[in-house]
């Protein structure tokens, strides 16, 4: 919300520099995001204050500029003369309070006065002299320029009458500013209308501050100054009027107030009213609409003005029978709002109606028919209270954010309705010259209960950790206009009738403690270290295991990635062969995706990492990536929360070694490189009994894919991507023919298999005996079974079995292969003799032959 | 005879001067100290000398032999040093050429920052509690004191998941880690409903906001939240804990600032700023001249939230805070674009 400082000063004396005010407001919860200077001095933008001696800079963005008090003044134009050489320029005879000048301007709003001789009533303008700094009216944005002497079409010019844009008031540059007649001739403009506008961010709990008075009340409390609450006094001299207000749903409409002004004349508001509205971010329309907006900005109560005669006409011309009904809309009911849009309403929408039908959408927007028009002379003014949640839903459903719905959807206290209507009526009387009817019609079926909350020094101590007396607590609350009664150590505080954010019971206590803290100052609260007992320390073993696994993968040379969990089924389908049937598990689908490529929660972490590989293959020949993260599967239970499972995905491709200026292993990584990484990982995790089996999987090469088992538990699959899957990605030409290796593992299963403790063996003390055995077996026998059987048979004496060669060829015969193992025999308790080794070897060979048909290669 | 030995020594040493390599040295040794050398002949002729002459000549011959052997050793040392020097000079490398890099893995910056946070908070006794990313409206909002339709919900744009028949309790992607507060409190209460234990945990994880992705805003982001509940937790404790955290995370001199704010699940609520550690509070482009950096939100746990977690707000108080690890990473490493975190471009990731 935009808050002109001049408006605040009507209600509270501000004796600190503007940046210091902004700083204090920000600390107390009214964050000042921007300070826009409109003429006022910018000095003191960096107030050195505070006990720490540290700069208390306003966090706000600073904009605008200071008007030179000597060179920018109020002047008057007494005659507008044609320019001798240009039709689109005029010459003004102008008096700046000291002397006369001839000032050249192209302002269209002076053309009407051109050549009319001396004006009966001079025009008051903003005059900038030679050397004054103003914004360039013709430049894009805000650019300061200094006025210099120049000849324009043969006439000398050194000064100008300013537009609003040139003074930083608005973007308006169509014409020059024409002040009200009472503008003081010769006065420094900064003294007359100089201002600074604070852009304040209003938090949901500060709804009461969505008005000048609301902000002023906070500022008064923060600065410890009295608030000058305006007396709402309306001069009502007209005949009373009659109307009936029927409220069908008091919980949606607790109060409805009507007032009447007769005989108004529509015209533009005084310039200073227009200026206020502009600085506050609203567009001036006419004196009646401006009065409703001004009253809303000042008090916080949105108002709505009806053309009384239109309503009377709808009531059959007998104005005495005027009846206003508030009710919810019938499904599909239509109303054309004042923006000339026919709106279709739902049953939650609250309407203000008369006997003939709907007049306006309550709290959101008026209807076209009863709107103020040029013919309007009598105004029926509505001030009502609405349920904030209902208004919020309606404003969202109709996509109609407005100043009124902004306030109503955050909550406006029903007590404000009457005050707002009085203020609106009085402003219309003053600016539009009407006569206010005596009395209001006020239907108030559901006054809110303003909570009375008891708070004690013990509460403040318990929550804030500071010792305050009951009197000190009371003093802070009184500053915020709570009505306070002291009862020994208990402060009984009744909420003032302009706010709805204080709850009952213990919530209310928390609310009041917060208010006390804000007024006491968050800065002044102590910094302490928790004195409470430290809870039982149990750690998070599962996370520890996960982090251990991350470390191992990094040791193994893999780069961690993290992806969006949001994707599409089509993106994920690429990880599988195109002829694979669609994923049978339903996806978690967003009802409101932000973009079409982020519509569902992922089923596969591997799909994410493959996309990363595809992207990075353009910059890196060698890729080694992993991601740990969740996948999301719909719950079996309809409408239940989905299951989240943790997965580990690895993708590998490119040359084995990094490129170098020296010879390096530039062969492409293959299945066994990935398997080596996994072997290292499982080893580092101390997984017991890991096995591999060939497996068919729709993502992988049928001959180069394995599944991993730990015990009977499947850990996952890995292998080389199927050529058809590989084709589905956009690999750079350089990667042609390079296998893409991938692993898709179940992290939950992995971590479950990971023991929390493991034992080590002593370093051997006796020498080993090394021996190589080459065994010829059938081609289809998995090599792992040979090694396994050697280990099993050798028992603890076989310390290591290492495959060092695989040979296929004529020497071993067709359909056979030779597996050469280097075996280390070593006993923990003695030096093995040749006889010992020979015995073990014989047993091993016998079993290999019997069980696997393996023959020692001679 | 003695004269002859002097001549032998003189001639040998003179010849040694001109020995230039190991081979010549060996030839010299054979000539002057070998079996058939003049010196050895003197030794073998000792038996033929008179009893009077023998001791003097023998002694002299030994002296000459020692002298020649010493000279040989010295010469040999010099020659070996010279030869080593020559060979080392021929093996000079260009030490400025690049080394042979081993493929190196790295943790994602999020993991690195998270670990630092785990460590700092862990040392303060905060243990890690994780919960699901897909939540019900009840846990994401209602139990945290965001009633249905409350305007505070506008502060967090929400992703909804398609699901039938859930009415006012739709499935949402969590907009913050705070649902974990309720899960955690209920977990602790379940163990001891009459006398629930104190709580001191951090809740890390990925959260989601329905928001257009720009260089400053992400639709998915990391958060870490702290929660302390006990019989005597105060706002002062909150300030002290976060001030301790800021000193450890951003430097020992870092100041902190608390501004009043609003979150439905805390009261009093505050925004937590740290003095800009890039300019030491003087004002720079990163802190936009203010000298302060917004780091997170915090406050005392709202009594309704304590109640919903199973902790009696008359007996217990608590504080909670939420921090953005990615924002901290961005500030510390001058990252201008938050999208880098999930883009996974190696040209970014390899810088950590």
> Is it the case that residue A857 has pLDDT exceeding 70?
yes
Chain B residue with Cα closest to A502: B267
A713 close to A749: Cβ distance less than 8 angstroms: yes
d(CA A621, nearest CA chain B) in Å: 12
Half-sphere exposure of A376 (CA within 13 A, CB side): 27
Substitution target in A50, A210, A522, A655 with the highest count of B β-carbons within 10 Å is A522
Interface contact B219, partner A, CB < 8 A? yes
pLDDT at A54: 46
d(CA A624, CA A617): 11
Report B:227-256 residues touching A (Cβ under 8 A).
228, 230-237, 239-241, 243-244, 255
Q: Least CB-CB distance to B346: which of A531, A555, A619?
A: A619
Q: Least CB-CB distance to A527: which of B107, B240, B291?
A: B240
Helix (H) or strand (E) holding A798: strand A798-807
Q: What is the mean pLDDT of chain A?
A: 93
CATH of domain A72-193: 2.40.50.140
CATH of domain A2-67+195-223: 3.30.56.10
SS3 state at A231 = coil
Q: Least CB-CB distance to B151: which of A28, A409, A537?
A: A409
Report B:131-190 residues touching A (Cβ under 8 A).
132-136, 147-152, 154-155, 159-166, 171, 173
Phi, psi angles (nearest 5°) of residue A307 = -75, 110
d(CA A513, CA A463): 7
> Is it the case that residue B239 has pLDDT exceeding 90?
yes
- What pLDDT band is residue A320 in, cutting at 50, 70 and 90? low
Report A:6-45 residues touching B (Cβ under 8 A).
26-29, 31
Residues 6+ positions from A342 with CB-CB distance below 8 Å: A334, A335, A336
CA–CA distances in Å: residue A256 to residues A530, A569, A625: 51, 53, 66
Q: What is the mean pLDDT of chain B?
A: 93
Interface contact A517, partner B, CB < 8 A? yes
d(CA A383, CA A441): 10
Nearest to A54 by CA among B337, B283, B179: B283
> Cβ A641–B135 below 8 Å, yes or no?
yes
Q: Considering chain A, what percentage of its residues have pLDDT values greater than 90?
A: 86
Helix (H) or strand (E) holding B42: helix B38-44
Residues 6+ positions from B180 with CB-CB distance below 8 Å: B129, B130, B131, B203, B205, B225
> Is it the case that residue B136 has pLDDT exceeding 80?
yes
> Is it the case that residue B289 has pLDDT exceeding 90?
no
- What pLDDT band is residue A664 in, cutting at 50, 70 and 90? confident
Is the Cα dihedral B243, B247, B248, B249 positive or negative?
A: positive
Helix (H) or strand (E) holding A846: helix A834-852
SS3 state at A809 = coil
> Is it the case that residue A84 has pLDDT exceeding 90?
no
Q: Least CB-CB distance to A528: which of B130, B236, B283?
A: B236
> Cβ A410–B289 below 8 Å, yes or no?
no
- What pLDDT band is residue A46 in, cutting at 50, 70 and 90? very low
Q: Is B33 left (phi over 0), alpha (psi -120 to 50) or beta?
A: alpha
pLDDT at A61: 87
The third-level CATH classification (topology) of the domain covering A236-443 is Phenylalanyl-tRNA Synthetase; Chain B, domain 3 (3.50.40)
- What pLDDT band is residue A232 in, cutting at 50, 70 and 90? confident
Burial code (b: 16+ CB inside 10 Å, e: under 16) for B308-340 equals bbbbebeebbbbbbbbbbbbbbbbeeebeebeb
Nearest to B103 by CA among A769, A626, A151: A626
> Cβ A532–B228 below 8 Å, yes or no?
yes
Q: What is the pLDDT of residues A97-123, one digit of tens each?
A: 999 999 999 999 999 999 999 999 999
Phi, psi angles (nearest 5°) of residue A300 = 95, -5
In terms of C-beta density within 10 A (0-12 exposed, 13-18 middle, 19 or more buried), how is residue A765 classed? exposed
> Cβ A532–B213 below 8 Å, yes or no?
no
d(CA A306, CA A320): 16
> Is it the case that residue A796 has pLDDT exceeding 70?
yes
Nearest to A462 by CA among A506, A421, A496, A425: A506
CATH fold match for the domains A2-67+195-223 and A452-522? yes
Interface contact A550, partner B, CB < 8 A? yes
Phi, psi angles (nearest 5°) of residue A304 = -135, 130
Q: What is the pLDDT of residues A404-441, one digit of tens each?
A: 999 999 999 999 999 999 999 999 999 999 999 999 99
Chain A residue with Cα closest to B107: A560
d(CA A105, CA A734): 69
Interface contact A601, partner B, CB < 8 A? yes
* Domain-wise residue ranges, chain A: 2-67+195-223, 72-193, 236-443, 452-522, 543-753, 769-856
DSSP state of B63: H
The superfamily (CATH) of domain A769-856 is Ferrodoxin-fold anticodon-binding domain (3.30.70.380)
pLDDT at A688: 84
> What is the CA angle A217-A223-A224, rounded to 5?
85
Substitution target in B170, B243, B267, B301 with the highest count of A β-carbons within 10 Å is B267
> What is the CA angle A777-A782-A783, rounded to 5?
70
Calculate mean pLDDT across residues B14-35: 91
d(CA B37, CA B46): 14
- What's domain A543-753's architecture? 2-Layer Sandwich (3.30)
Helix (H) or strand (E) holding B227: strand B220-230
- Secondary structure (H, E, C), A302-361: CEEEEEHHHHHHHCCCCHHHCEEEEEECCCCCEEEECCCCEEECCCCCEEEEECCEEEEE
> Is it the case that residue A50 has pLDDT exceeding 70?
no
Q: Bigger pLDDT: A140 or A715?
A: A715
- Residues of A within 8 A of B329 (CB-CB) are none
Interface contact A160, partner B, CB < 8 A? no
Q: Is A716 left (phi over 0), alpha (psi -120 to 50) or beta?
A: left
Q: What is the pLDDT of residues A321-370, one digit of tens each?
A: 789 999 999 999 999 999 999 999 999 999 999 999 999 999 999 999 99
pLDDT at A637: 75
Lowest mean pLDDT among A124-128, A529-533, A669-673, A810-814: A810-814
A190 close to A67: Cβ distance less than 8 angstroms: yes
Calculate mean pLDDT across residues B131-157: 88
> Cβ B291–A55 below 8 Å, yes or no?
yes
Calculate mean pLDDT across residues A551-561: 98
SS3 state at A806 = strand
Burial code (b: 16+ CB inside 10 Å, e: under 16) for A585-609 equals eebbbbeebbeeebbbbbbbbbbbb
Lowest mean pLDDT among A171-185, B102-116, B152-166: B152-166
B266 close to B301: Cβ distance less than 8 angstroms: yes
> Cβ B303–A537 below 8 Å, yes or no?
no
Strand-pair category, A559-560 with A623-633 = parallel
Complex ipTM value: 0.90
Nearest to A135 by CA among A167, A169, A87, A88: A167
- What pLDDT band is residue A52 in, cutting at 50, 70 and 90? very low
Phi, psi angles (nearest 5°) of residue A218 = -65, -45
- Residues of B within 8 A of A22 (CB-CB) are none
> Is it the case that residue A49 has pLDDT exceeding 60?
no
Q: Least CB-CB distance to A54: which of B267, B281, B350?
A: B281
> Is it the case that residue A47 has pLDDT exceeding 60?
no
Half-sphere exposure of A212 (CA within 13 A, CB side): 27
Class of the CATH domain delimited by A452-522: alpha beta
Lowest mean pLDDT among A185-194, A473-482, A543-552, A634-643: A634-643
**What number of C-beta contacts closer than 8 Å exist between A and B?**
284
Find the distance separating the first CA and the last CA of chain A, reported in whole Å: 93
- Residues of A within 8 A of B132 (CB-CB) are 641, 644
Helix (H) or strand (E) holding A509: helix A505-520
């Amino acid at each position: 919300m935009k808050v002109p400082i001049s408006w605040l000063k009507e209600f509270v004396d501000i004796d600190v520099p503007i940046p210091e005010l902004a700083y204090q407001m920000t600390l107390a919860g009214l964050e000042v995001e921007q300070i826009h200077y409109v003429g006022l001095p910018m000095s003191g933008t960096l107030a050195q204050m505070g006990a720490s001696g540290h700069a208390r800079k306003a966090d706000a963005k600073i904009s605008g500029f200071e008007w030179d008090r000597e060179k920018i003044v109020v002047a008057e134009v007494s005659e507008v003369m044609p320019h001798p050489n240009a039709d689109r320029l005029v010459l003004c005879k102008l008096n700046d309070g000291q002397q006369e000048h001839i000032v050249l301007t192209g302002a269209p709003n002076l053309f009407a006065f051109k050549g009319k001789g001396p004006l009966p009533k001079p025009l008051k303008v903003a005059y900038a002299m030679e050397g004054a700094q103003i914004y360039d009216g013709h430049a894009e944005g805000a650019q300061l320029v200094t006025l210099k002497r120049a000849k324009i079409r043969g006439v000398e010019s050194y000064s100008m009458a300013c537009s609003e844009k040139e003074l930083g008031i608005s973007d308006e540059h169509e014409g020059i500013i024409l002040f009200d007649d009472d503008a003081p001739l010769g006065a420094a403009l900064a003294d007359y209308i100089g201002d600074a506008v604070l852009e304040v961010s209003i938090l949901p709990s500060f709804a009461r501050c969505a008005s000048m008075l609301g902000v002023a009340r906070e500022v008064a409390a923060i600065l410890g100054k009295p608030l000058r609450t305006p007396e709402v006094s309306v001069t009502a001299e007209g005949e009373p009027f009659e109307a009936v207000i029927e409220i069908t749903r008091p919980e949606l409409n607790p109060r409805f107030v009507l007032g009447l002004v007769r005989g108004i004349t529509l015209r533009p508001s005084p310039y200073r009213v227009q200026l206020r509205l502009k600085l506050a971010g609203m567009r001036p329309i006419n004196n009646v609409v401006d009065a409703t907006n001004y009253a809303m900005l000042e008090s916080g109560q949105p108002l709505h003005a009806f053309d009384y005669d239109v309503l009377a006409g709808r009531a059959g011309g007998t104005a005495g029978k005027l009846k206003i009904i508030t009710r919810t809309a019938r499904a599909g009911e239509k109303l054309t709002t004042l923006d000339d849009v026919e709106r279709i309403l739902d049953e939650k929408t609250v309407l203000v109606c008369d006997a003939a039908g709907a007049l306006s959408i309550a709290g959101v927007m008026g209807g076209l028919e009863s709107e103020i028009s040029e013919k309007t002379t009598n105004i029926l003014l509505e001030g009502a209270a609405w349920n904030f949640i209902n208004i919020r839903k309606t404003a969202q459903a109709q996509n109609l954010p407005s100043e009124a719905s902004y306030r109503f959807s955050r909550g406006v206290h029903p007590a404000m309705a009457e005050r707002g209507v009085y203020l609106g009526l009085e402003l219309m009387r003053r600016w539009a010259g009407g006569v206010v009817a005596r009395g209001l019609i006020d239907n108030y079926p559901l006054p809110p209960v303003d909570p009375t909350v008891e708070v004690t020094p013990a509460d403040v101590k318990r929550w804030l950790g500071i010792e305050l007396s009951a009197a000190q607590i009371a003093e802070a609350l009184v500053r915020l206009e709570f009505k306070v009664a002291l009862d020994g150590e208990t402060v009984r505080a009744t909420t003032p009738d302009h706010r709805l954010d204080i709850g009952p019971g213990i919530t209310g206590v928390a609310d009041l403690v917060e208010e006390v803290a804000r007024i006491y100052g968050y800065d002044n609260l102590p910094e302490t270290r928790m004195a409470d007992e430290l809870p039982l320390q149990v750690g998070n073993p599962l996370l520890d295991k996960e982090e251990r696994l991350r470390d191992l993968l990094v040791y193994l040379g893999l780069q961690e990635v993290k992806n969006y969990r949001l994707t599409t089924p089509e993106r994920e389908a690429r990880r599988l062969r195109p002829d694979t049937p669609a994923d049978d598990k339903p996806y978690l689908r967003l009802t409101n995706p932000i973009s079409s490529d982020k519509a569902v929660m992922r089923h596969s972490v591997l799909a994410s990492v493959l996309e990363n590989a595809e992207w990075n293959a353009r910059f890196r020949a060698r890729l080694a990536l992993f991601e740990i993260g969740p996948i999301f599967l719909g719950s079996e239970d309809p409408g239940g929360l989905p299951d989240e499972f943790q997965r580990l995905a690895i993708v590998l491709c490119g040359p084995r070694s990094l490129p170098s200026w020296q010879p390096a292993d530039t062969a492409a990584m293959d299945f066994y490189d990935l398997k080596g990484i996994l072997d290292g990982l499982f080893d580092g995790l101390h997984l017991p009994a890991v096995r591999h089996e060939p497996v068919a999987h729709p993502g992988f090469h049928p001959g180069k894919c394995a599944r991993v088992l730990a015990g009977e538990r499947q850990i996952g699959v890995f292998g080389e991507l199927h050529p058809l899957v590989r084709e589905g990605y956009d690999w750079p030409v350089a990667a042609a023919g390079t296998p893409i290796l991938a692993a898709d593992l179940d992290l939950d299963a992995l971590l479950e298999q990971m023991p929390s403790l493991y034992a080590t063996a002593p370093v051997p003390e006796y020498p080993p005996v090394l021996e190589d055995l080459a065994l010829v077996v059938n081609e289809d026998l998995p090599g792992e079974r040979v090694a396994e059987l050697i280990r099993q048979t050798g028992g603890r004496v076989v310390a290591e079995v290492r495959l060092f060669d695989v040979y296929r060829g004529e020497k071993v015969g067709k359909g056979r292969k030779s597996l050469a193992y280097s075996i280390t025999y070593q006993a923990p308790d003695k030096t093995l003799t040749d006889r010992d080794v020979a015995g073990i070897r014989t047993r091993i060979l016998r079993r290999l032959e019997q069980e696997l048909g393996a023959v020692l290669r001679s | 005879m003695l004269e002859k030995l002097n001549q032998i020594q003189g001639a040998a040493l003179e010849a040694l001067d001109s020995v230039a390599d190991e081979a010549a040295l060996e030839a010299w040794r054979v000539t002057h100290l070998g079996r058939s050398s003049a010196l050895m002949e003197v030794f073998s002729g000792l038996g033929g000398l008179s009893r009077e002459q023998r001791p003097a000549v023998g002694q002299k011959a030994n002296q000459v032999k020692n002298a020649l052997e010493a000279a040989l050793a010295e010469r040999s040392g010099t020659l070996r040093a010279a030869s080593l020097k020559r060979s080392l000079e021929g093996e000079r490398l260009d030490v400025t050429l690049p080394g042979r890099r081993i493929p190196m893995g790295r943790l994602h910056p999020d993991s690195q920052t998270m670990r630092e946070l785990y460590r700092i908070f862990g040392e303060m006794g905060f243990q890690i509690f994780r919960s699901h990313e897909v939540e019900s409206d009840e846990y994401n909002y209602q139990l945290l004191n965001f009633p249905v339709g409350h305007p505070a919900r506008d502060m967090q744009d929400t992703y909804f998941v398609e699901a039938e028949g859930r009415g006012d309790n739709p499935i949402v992607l969590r907009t913050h880690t705070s649902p974990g507060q309720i899960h955690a409190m209920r977990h602790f209460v379940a163990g001891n409903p009459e006398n629930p234990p104190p709580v001191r945990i951090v809740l890390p994880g990925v959260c989601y906001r329905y928001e257009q992705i720009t260089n400053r805003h992400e639709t998915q982001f990391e958060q870490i939240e702290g929660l302390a509940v006990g019989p005597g937790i105060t706002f002062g404790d909150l300030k002290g804990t976060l001030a301790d955290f800021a000193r450890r995370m951003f430097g020992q001199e870092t100041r902190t600032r608390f501004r009043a704010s609003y979150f439905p699940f805390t009261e009093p609520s505050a925004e937590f700023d740290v003095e800009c550690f890039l300019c030491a509070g003087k004002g720079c482009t990163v802190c936009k001249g203010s000298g302060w950096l917004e780091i997170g939100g915090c406050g005392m746990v709202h009594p309704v939230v304590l109640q919903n977690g199973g902790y009696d707000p008359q007996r217990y108080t608590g504080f909670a805070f939420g921090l953005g690890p990615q924002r901290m990473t961005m500030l510390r490493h001058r990252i201008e674009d938050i999208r880098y975190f999930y883009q996974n471009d190696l040209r970014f990731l390899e810088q950590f």
